[in-house]
Amino acid sequence: MNVKAFAIDLDGTLLVGEDIPEANIEAVRRASDAGIKVMIATARWSQHAGRISRRMGIEDPVIACSGAQVRDLRDNKDVFDHRLPEEFTHELFEICNAERCIATVTFNDDVRLKLDGEPNLAEMGEEMSWVRSLSVDGDNLPRIAAVQGTGCIARIREELGERYADTVNIFDSIGPSGRIIVTITAKAATKGAALDSACHHLGISSEEVVAFGDAENDLEMFRAAGAAVAMGQADEITREAATFVTKSNEEAGVAYAIDRILERGSL
């Protein structure tokens, strides 16, 4: 396999909580110096992914919003952009507003955090705002909603999951705290479809990409890529779908796999 790019998930993969292990940063820089593109592929929004990329000295496209968006960091333009259906969005917001939950919803260039209690505003990025309830503003539909809260998630799956199965993805992912978060995107918005779009933009094949991930919403990216690395702490389904299982995120498993590829030319 001629590896031309890595697509690396953030939470539970590159990150430990909100921190990037220094070994991962150094390995990513070695890969970049070797001419390998490094694309962050995350459920988080593009501004956050861009900050992490630039911290590592990388300006390759980012796959954001769990595959609903591909952002070219060099010209700040989208090359892939899919939104949630309007009717579904209204129903989703009704449930989130009625239940205790933490919901992070990404719109055009702003991210809204629905939380019952006031957060520490100093820890929020400039693109973020705190709201007590969610609403749709005209045609500004969200790219993704990430929801945490047992009762709220149960209602979303029970009341919306089956009815919108043909138009919406509802995936489990692992948040910074290690808790389950459901990530909700339009059906066409997957990390696999976004990876294909990002590769087309770069003029390479997705078969030349090694994908890194730890959870259900990474599986479509695994299928699209030429090879896949699952983190050591990933669930059994994710590990079985991978080409290679590396160390856990807390053991800098990304760096371990990158160095293996750089040394051997393969996994």
- State pLDDT tens for residues 107-151: 998 999 999 888 887 778 889 999 999 999 888 999 999 999 999
- CA geometry: angle at 141 spanning 137 and 144, to 5°? 130
User: Could you give all domains of the chain from N- to C-terminal order, each with its CATH number?
Assistant: 5-81+189-264 (3.40.50.1000), 86-186 (3.30.1240.10)
Q: pLDDT averaged over the chain?
A: 95
Please tell me the predicted confidence (pLDDT) of residue 120.
Answer: 82
pLDDT of residue 177: 65
- For the segment 240-263, the average pLDDT, to the nearest whole number, is 98
Sequence length of the chain is: 267
Distance CA 238, CA 222 (A): 9
pLDDT tens figures, 38-58? 999 999 999 999 999 999 999
